[in-house]
Structure 1
Amino acid sequence: MSDKFQERVQPWMLACFGEEISKDRIERNHRFIEEALELVQANGCTQSEAHQLVDYVFGRPIGDVHQEIGGVLVTLAALCLAIGEDMHKAGETELARVWTKVEKIRAKQAAKPKHSPLPESAPEGLKIIGVDNFGRESVADFLVAGHVANDYVGKVMVDALNAQQGEHGSTFFRLVPSGHRLSRGMADLV
């Protein structure tokens, strides 16, 4: 058995995904960025900070893969030092854990949307609608915002809209699943 961690990951990759997916650069990119984002999220990075960094990095010239790998390892080691974690121990623990989940990971991979960076089907989206504040069936609902990023953002937007409208305004704003059917008001009644 090899002492090199990278070489000990390969048999697990082949057991879970087979050779084709194990060598798929696009898939490996997506899973790497997913795990890197999960690490910084767990360490207090905000979604806004992550988006700012994505824009910053993709606004610069493309780097050299070998040098960027070195940069990832150096900055991971520096982060682990800053937070008091042993990156080698964490890697060994995770490799042992994922070996116990080969069947579950295979099933997740089989259910994954083809050609998608997302590791699973995205949850149903959200939208914000305006409805009649007085419950009149003759007044149509209307779309305010589609493709709302997440429940938190949607609730903040709805609360702000309702605060601006006031409790006696004619419209009440709601966060609903993207598949929610809007009332057409009078058109639904005739």
Structure 2
Amino acid sequence: MSDILKPCPFCGGSASIERYGDRRQSTIYQCDNCSCSLETGEEWGHGQEWNRRSLAQQPLSVQEGWQDRVAAAHLALFHDDPTDVEERRARFAEEVNETLQAFGMSREDMHRLVDYSWDRPVGEPAKEIGAALLTLTSLCVIAGYDLMACGEADLEKLQRPETIARIRAKRATRHGRGPLPGFDPAAFRDAKERKE
């Protein structure tokens, strides 16, 4: 009998056997985290059916944490020129604005929302991150986009050698660490001289 269960194929959580099967009843497995379950006709070798639905059959976003995979991509991009909260905050704002623009929001409406948001009390980062993720997911649901497919496509592109080289070159020529991307000719000359 094998009672060693692989992690849940959907969330990666641990699983348990809720009921052992025999000739008269089925075996029921359940994830301790997301509560997904599987009912099988196993009478012996418990765990085999659940373990066939292993993480290896699931998308990478389930196999390894999304945030861990983005952190690994950061290492390739920023290992010798570290990024910081201010830079990531500016890039996030840039992508949010571009997303809203892609969905047809006007500059005027965006400015009104900026004023509305800045007139409210400052939120707590963890709560606001959760709300931002939830709201983006909701937008994808309503607009018919697969959030993780979009994320996976962008992460794959980010990890291409030519993309890494382009981003690293752009960052090497930026003026300061301000919110706007820009080109500093002196930094470009310095970067070119270092390369030679």
TM-score of the superposition, structure 2-length normalised? 0.58
Q: Which runs of 5+ in 1 are unaligned?
A: 123-190
Q: Which runs of 5+ in 2 are unaligned?
A: 1-59, 185-196
Deviations 1:13-33 (A, max 9, x none): 1211227633x1111100000
Residue equivalent to 2:170: 108
Matched residues, number: 121
Instruction: Please say if 1:64 is aligned against 2:134.
Output: no
Map 1:111-190; keep pairs closer than 5 Å.
111-121=173-183
Instruction: Please say if 1:88 is aligned against 2:151.
Output: no
State the distance in 2 between where 1:115 and 1:94 align: 24
Instruction: Please say if 1:39 is aligned against 2:39.
Output: no
Deviations 1:120-140 (A, max 9, x none): 249xxxxxxxxxxxxxxxxxx
Q: CA RMSD in A?
A: 1.8
Deviations 1:67-108 (A, max 9, x none): 101101110011001111000010001000111110100001
Cα pair 1:9 1:95 within 8 Å, conserved: yes
More relative contact order, 1 or 2 (CA 8 Å, 6+ apart): 1
State the distance in 2 between where 1:75 and 1:19 align: 34
Shift of 1:115: 2.8
TM-score of the superposition, structure 1-length normalised? 0.60
State the distance in 1 between where 2:80 and 2:134 align: 29
AA of the residue aligned to 2:152 = E
Residue equivalent to 1:5: 66
**Share of identical aligned residues, percent?**
38
Residue equivalent to 2:135: 75
AA of the residue aligned to 1:37 = N
Deviations 1:126-178 (A, max 9, x none): xxxxxxxxxxxxxxxxxxxxxxxxxxxxxxxxxxxxxxxxxxxxxxxxxxxxx
State the distance in 2 between where 1:93 and 1:109 align: 22
AA of the residue aligned to 1:18 = H
State the distance in 2 between where 1:79 and 1:121 align: 34
Shift of 1:60: 1.0
State the distance in 2 between where 1:19 and 1:83 align: 39
State the distance in 2 between where 1:19 and 1:52 align: 39
Cα pair 1:21 1:27 within 8 Å, conserved: no
